[in-house]
Copies of this chain bind each other. A is one copy, B any other.
């Protein structure tokens, strides 16, 4: 299809599609003449992906490009690419100097912790707030959280394991992690309201 059709089909203005092309967020089409190129469904999917991600809090175009490049770099092992792409997700690489809370909880749960992972420094930062307001994360709470979240993660990963290619599945892994966060938070608030209302 022509670039104008690509714009129409993905529901994104033509100028925006051209911007994605210039910034390398969208792969070039197949050249059919000096001034025209041919685009396909993969291009439609990519335009929608970039547009949707750009509407999520914390996602700049620069960040989207960095994440998609990391995911697509087939020179390096997949787990490493995944870890690095995940580390880029907003709020970005963690900055904890030390991780005493995360380490203590992981030890109590006998959980192997990759201390270099940015998820671990996010966890450390996240655990400081409950402490500060006098609602500390008990071992029991951590256990219950981890059990549920780990089960959820296994279910979610099964869902992308059937992807057509390793690259698609890796991209879906990172995008799915990010894009379902607001869904889970909305459901949790809904559940809290329901459960509390029954108790109050």
Which one of B82, B120, B193, B200 lies within 8 Å of A119 (CB-CB)? Answer: B193
> Which residues 185-200 in A have Cβ within 8 Å of B in the complex?
185-197, 199-200
Number of this chain's copies in the assembly equals 2
A52, B155: Cα distance in complex, Å: 34
Q: Nearest chain B CB to A183's CB is how many angstroms away?
A: 4
CB-CB < 8 A to A153: which residues of B? 188, 191-192, 194-195
Which of chain B's residues has its CB closest to A120's CB? B190
CB distance from A5 to the nearest CB of B (A): 18
A123 at the A/B interface (Cβ < 8 Å)? yes
A126 touches which one: B123, B172, B182, B200 (CB < 8 A)? B182
Establish whether residues B188 and A132, one from each chain, have CB atoms under 8 Å apart when the complex forms.
no
| A161 CB within 8 Å of chain B | yes
A98 within 8 A of B: no
24 sample A-B contacts, Cβ–Cβ < 8 Å, listed by A number:
A56-B129, A57-B91, A79-B200, A82-B193, A86-B193, A114-B193, A117-B193, A119-B186, A119-B189, A122-B182, A123-B183, A123-B190, A129-B182, A130-B176, A130-B179, A130-B180, A137-B180, A141-B159, A149-B187, A150-B195, A153-B195, A157-B195, A173-B192, A177-B189
Q: Which residues of A contact B (CB under 8 A)?
A: 45, 48-49, 51-53, 55-57, 77-79, 82-83, 86, 89, 91, 114, 117, 119-120, 122-123, 125-127, 129-130, 132-135, 137, 141, 144-146, 148-157, 159, 161, 166, 170, 172-173, 175-177, 179-197, 199-200
